[in-house]
Structure 1
Amino acid sequence: MFSKFYAPNVLSIGSSRKGENSYSHYHDRDIGASVIDRFTYYNLDFFESVDMSSKHTMADLISTYNTTLIGSHPGVRTDLFARKLEETYLTDFFGAVHRVELTSEPFPIGGQKVSA
């Protein structure tokens, strides 16, 4: 699917190569459906070790892909992406820490005073 992308600064990762199956990890017999695929399961497993101030990069994530465990060959397209994967933090895509200022007073909206 990502072969159809042409916009700049797009990093694409897919669960399997074109023509290759992407397998489920867990099938819930109670609901009769697969609830997670192997690719997603192992991505989430990696993210469990990442916190909001992590310095893990996209290259770190991609290097964890084990084709034997996943059962497919995840595809990665980087030609539209301007940065090096080794210098692109996961938090650039999946979260970040923002500075928040806590106050005890309501914040005025549109220049008007807001009553509590």
Structure 2
Amino acid sequence: MRGVLGSLEVGLFAQEWRPVEGGLILRGQEVRAFPPFAARRFFRHGWQSWSLTTWVDLNFPPKPLFPEARRPQADDPFLLEASEWWGSGLGALEGPDGKVLLLGALGGGARV
């Protein structure tokens, strides 16, 4: 299925979805949005106040946090072991033209 966000037509995977003012609400155990552009950067939101929250270059994979003993207190353990960039609760993709697609998840422990 496909949804329209402003001037973007976005591929969607969700059990259900509906348009709302300024965006779309997707629902399901797992939902996915497939932007119609190759993203340059991803805004990664940290799990807590001392977790990494920043724009990251998608040409470079995440690096594990060292020392390993600090990992459980520093960030979501799943995110620390992931080979792709993820954010806790929210994230954003920046397209080649500088436009940003904001992504958010409202469930407790949700990842973007």
TM over 0.5: no
* Smaller-chain TM-score bracket: under 0.3
Structure with the largest fraction of strand: 2
Structure whose CA Rg is larger: 1
Could you tell me the TM-score, scaled by structure 2's length? Answer: 0.26
Could you tell me the TM-score, scaled by structure 1's length? Answer: 0.26
With a CA cutoff of 8 Å and minimum separation of 6, indicate the structure with the bigger relative contact order. Answer: 1
